[in-house]
Amino acid sequence: MAARKSERLLNLTICLLATRPYLSRERIRRAVEGYHDLSDAAFERTFERDKDDLRAMGVPIETGTNDRFFDDEVGYRIARGSFELPPVSFTPDELSALGAATRVWHEASAASATASALAKLRAAGVEPDVTRLAAIEPSITADEPAFDLIWSATLERRRVSFGYRGGRRREIEPWSVTWRKGRWYVLGLDVAIDEPRMFKISRVTDVPVVGAEPDSYVVPADLDLAALARSLEPGEPDATAIVGIRGDFAPQLRRRGVLVDTPAGLPSGYAAYEVPYAHQGDLVGDICSAAPDVLPVEPPQLRDAVIARLRGVLAAHDDGAVAGA
């Protein structure tokens, strides 16, 4: 059955490519062998499904009439210019880049989309070179279960709704997807509040429901992805703290800061750094995680917060203390 269907779809494609005028359903039925043995109703059903299948694959089937002045019957054709891949050629170095690109995706459906894109390039005479650039091993993962559906909904501009951890159910018009630090985010118009919002795809709690209509909304032309990506960052530092760092420890904090005069009271072996920060909570975490190689000096409330958190460590894990007290 599958073989007969493949045969019919391929013959239908060739038939519609070979015609210049639009072909009526009746002409198509006579021309494509796979339709010969079907009843009227079965032909209508099968032809509709075949058309949908080919369009889903990206085959640009046009609908129209041959004579604008008469009420002619609707017909179908594929315009060669919109079907064929335009001419394209690559230098040897660019072919190496394409060769490295073949290895990037480790997510099933994007990997197979990449493979079929490369198959089309090969069919156009472009042969990616996989032997060079072997010293880099780029890879993208997408292990978020909801990734696939949200990725394709975004590219096809379909509305999508999903459960979201720690909040209400969302319905969005997805505008773009972003990958950073190995995680995927989707930005879109949150329909309920009519404002753009960013969602972390790993926080989607169920199988997203994707709208039936492709191209069902317009993405703002002035969409500034770089600015939106910055909104994911911790924010610009607007305060500074003085911390003491022992020797060559805590490099992340050390390189963020500038060496300043060592204040009295810092134990020997520690140097003082002025460190900019955006959120005190994050800095407290950074300091505590490196304790006692990093010690807070000022402001006093930072010092107090670090002391409180370190006492929390004792409360949580010291067998001599009462857990949860």
Determine which residue in the list 41, 68, 69, 123 makes contact with another protein, applying CB under 8 A: 123
> Would you say 70 or 247 has its CB closer to another protein?
247
Binding of residue 113 to another protein (CB under 8 A)? yes
| 178 alpha carbon, distance to own chain's centre | 5
Binding of residue 235 to another protein (CB under 8 A)? no
- Minimum distance of another protein from residue 205's CB (angstroms): 13
Torsion of CA 261, 266, 270, 276, to 10 degrees: -60
Alpha-carbon distance of 8 to 31, in angstroms, equals 11
- Which tokens in the block code for residue 7? 């045969």
In b/e form, how buried is each residue of 290-314, taking b as 16+ CB within 10 angstroms? beebbbbbeeeebbebbeebeeeee
Q: How many residues does the chain have?
A: 325
Determine which residue in the list 20, 37, 41, 86 makes contact with another protein, applying CB under 8 A: 86
Determine which residue in the list 42, 74, 79, 88 makes contact with another protein, applying CB under 8 A: 88
Q: By CB under 8 A, what part of segment 90-109 binds another protein?
A: 90-91, 93-94, 96-98, 100-102, 104-106, 109
Binding of residue 20 to another protein (CB under 8 A)? no
Torsion of CA 272, 276, 282, 288, to 10 degrees: 0
Alpha-carbon distance of 169 to 100, in angstroms, equals 40
Residue type, 38: L
Binding of residue 320 to another protein (CB under 8 A)? yes
Alpha-carbon distance of 296 to 283, in angstroms, equals 10
Q: By CB under 8 A, what part of segment 236-275 binds another protein?
A: 247-252, 254-255, 267
Binding of residue 176 to another protein (CB under 8 A)? yes
- Minimum distance of another protein from residue 191's CB (angstroms): 18
Q: Which stretch binds another protein (CB under 8 A): 38-46, 67-75, 148-156, 272-280?
A: 148-156
Binding of residue 225 to another protein (CB under 8 A)? yes
- Which tokens in the block code for residue 140? 């993208």
Q: Which stretch binds another protein (CB under 8 A): 61-69, 195-203, 204-212, 235-243?
A: 195-203
Alpha-carbon distance of 111 to 49, in angstroms, equals 27
Binding of residue 17 to another protein (CB under 8 A)? yes
> Would you say 69 or 114 has its CB closer to another protein?
114
Q: By CB under 8 A, what part of segment 49-78 binds another protein?
A: 53-54, 56-60
Q: By CB under 8 A, what part of segment 278-317 binds another protein?
A: 285-286, 288-293, 295-296, 303, 306-317
- Which tokens in the block code for residue 181? 């630090």
Binding of residue 25 to another protein (CB under 8 A)? no
Q: Which residues contact 266 (CB under 8 A, 6 or more apart)?
A: 244, 272, 295, 297
215: left (phi over 0), alpha (psi -120 to 50) or beta: left
> Would you say 58 or 238 has its CB closer to another protein?
58
> Would you say 141 or 301 has its CB closer to another protein?
141
